[in-house]
């Protein structure tokens, strides 16, 4: 069973994080980075999935300095609140909290990977180039990836995009990454939109989610 713990960031602030130990045998650790909606049931379910695949998993609550324990519904009000928190949270602060989770997991084993969705997909891409000591990174449909495509990853990384994502033009993101990092795999999932890993009925695409998770797991297991 998962539990909520507290971890000290670089600034000394103790943020909350949802944590679940790996089902044996433990392969490593993974930092799961939230969507804009906070550590809701979908992120907790993702933490549980990684734990069942052998990875001790932890999801930091990145808005805690603004609203401790924030979660929001997938409705216009929740979207507005989540976007406001994301825009007001400095990227350096969020990356620092990811680094603190890396340190927490490294006390239990050397290999630490990172996976992120939506807001977290952008942070996973940024972390691959700005957070030391990560073994691998998997970025799902992050809106900041194209603008930061020139960032040099320090670890193996994979990018997942939905073909029908109205807000993130998949081909443009793929082209931007290919121009700087032709070795980085970018997978575009036909028939899948934004948030296809999230099990809410309006977003979930089981075929795309399963394939993306398989590819991510393959990357993490090899790291």
Give strand ranges (E) for 40-101: 55-60
- Looking up residue 200, the CATH number of its domain turns out to be 3.40.50.1820
Q: Per the confidence metrics, is the pTM higher than 0.75?
A: yes
Do 15 and 65 form a contact (C-beta atoms < 8 A)? yes
Residue 24: the pLDDT is 80
Residue 91: the pLDDT is 97
Residue 174: the pLDDT is 98
Do 15 and 97 form a contact (C-beta atoms < 8 A)? yes
Residue 147: the pLDDT is 97
First to last CA, the chain: 26
Ranges of residues in the chain with a pLDDT under 50 are none
Task: Provide the domain limits for residue 174.
Answer: 3-222
Q: How many domains does the chain have?
A: 1
88: number of Cβ within 10 Å = 10
Residue 210: the pLDDT is 97
Q: What distance in Å separates the CA atoms of residue 145 and residue 60, rounded to the nearest whole number?
A: 20
């Amino acid at each position: 069973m998962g539990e909520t713990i507290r971890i000290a960031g670089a600034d000394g602030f103790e943020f909350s994080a949802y944590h679940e130990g790996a089902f044996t045998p433990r392969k490593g650790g993974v930092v799961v980075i939230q969507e804009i909606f906070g550590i809701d049931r979908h992120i907790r379910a993702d933490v549980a999935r990684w734990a069942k695949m052998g990875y001790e998993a932890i999801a930091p609550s990145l808005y805690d300095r603004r609203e401790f324990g924030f979660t929001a519904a997938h409705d216009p009000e929740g979207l507005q609140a989540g976007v406001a928190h994301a825009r007001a949270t400095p990227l350096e602060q969020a990356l620092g909290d990811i680094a603190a989770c890396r340190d927490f997991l490294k006390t239990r084993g050397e290999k630490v990977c990172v996976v992120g969705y939506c807001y977290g997909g952008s942070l996973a891409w940024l972390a691959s180039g700005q957070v030391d000591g990560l073994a691998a990174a998997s970025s799902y449909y992050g809106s900041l990836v194209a603008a930061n495509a020139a960032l040099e990853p320090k670890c193996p990384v994979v990018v997942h995009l939905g073909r029908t994502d109205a807000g993130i033009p998949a081909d443009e993101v793929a082209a931007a990454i290919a121009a700087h990092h032709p070795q980085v795999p970018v997978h575009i999932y036909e028939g899948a939109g934004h948030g296809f890993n999230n099990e809410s009925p309006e977003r979930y695409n089981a075929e795309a989610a399963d394939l993306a998770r398989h590819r991510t797991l393959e990357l993490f297991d090899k790291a």
